[in-house]
Amino acid sequence: MSVEANKQVVRRFIEEMLTQQDLEVAADLFTEDFIDHDADDPDGRLSGVDGARAEVAVFHTAFPDMRVTAHELIAEGDRVALRGELAGTNTGPLFGMPATGKAARVPAWQIYRLRDGKIAEAWLNIDRLSLLQQLGVIPMPEPAVM
């Protein structure tokens, strides 16, 4: 696949699966042996198509109005890198925490490895500290006095 075709797969993931919340497209976007790498699990875990659906559903439950904006997609070979932003209002539980009703907007970076037109691996890094601060779970630091 060309780098432009790989970028188009990632765009579909962002637009259709994340933002439009169409979990059925996962079979078109992820390999059966998809591995999800995350900041809390850098070695990755075998997620497959169902794991990709479940991971995204967690965020849809927590942020039903979630929007994902891709500021940049950079591709080379079988890799696509995203610099983007997640935004939404926390009206559902998130990782065992009750909903706060607060809005959050956090930067996100993700690298995808594609194989045969599907996402085979993904490495996600979102600013979790900022997310938890914006949701009021962790207090914001006092501004520095100069």
Q: Over the stretch 107-130, which tens digit does the pLDDT of each residue have?
A: 999 999 999 999 999 999 999 999
Task: Indicate if the pLDDT at residue 39 is higher than 90.
Answer: no
Task: Indicate if the pLDDT at residue 80 is higher than 90.
Answer: yes
Task: Indicate if the pLDDT at residue 86 is higher than 80.
Answer: yes
Q: Among all chains, which residue has been given the structure tokens 């997609």?
A: 73
133 or 42: whose pLDDT is higher? Answer: 133
| Rounded to 5°, angle at Cα 125 from 109 and 77 | 50
The proportion of the chain whose per-residue pLDDT surpasses 90, expressed as a percent, equals 84
**Averaged pLDDT, 54-65:** 94
Task: Indicate if the pLDDT at residue 57 is higher than 80.
Answer: yes
44 or 27: whose pLDDT is higher? Answer: 27
Helix (H, G, I), strand (E, B) or coil at 29: helix
Task: Indicate if the pLDDT at residue 94 is higher than 70.
Answer: yes
**Averaged pLDDT, 126-143:** 91
pLDDT-derived band of residue 81, with 50, 70 and 90 as boundaries? very high
User: What are the structure tokens assigned to 25, written together?
Assistant: 């497209």
pLDDT-derived band of residue 41, with 50, 70 and 90 as boundaries? low
Of 52, 112, 47, nearest to 82 by C-alpha is 112
Residues in CB range of 74: below 8 A, 6 or more apart: 80, 81, 83
The answer to whether the CB of 45 falls within 8 A of the CB of 122 is no
Domains of the chain: 3-134 (3.10.450.50)
In whole numbers, what is the pLDDT of the chain averaged over residues? 93
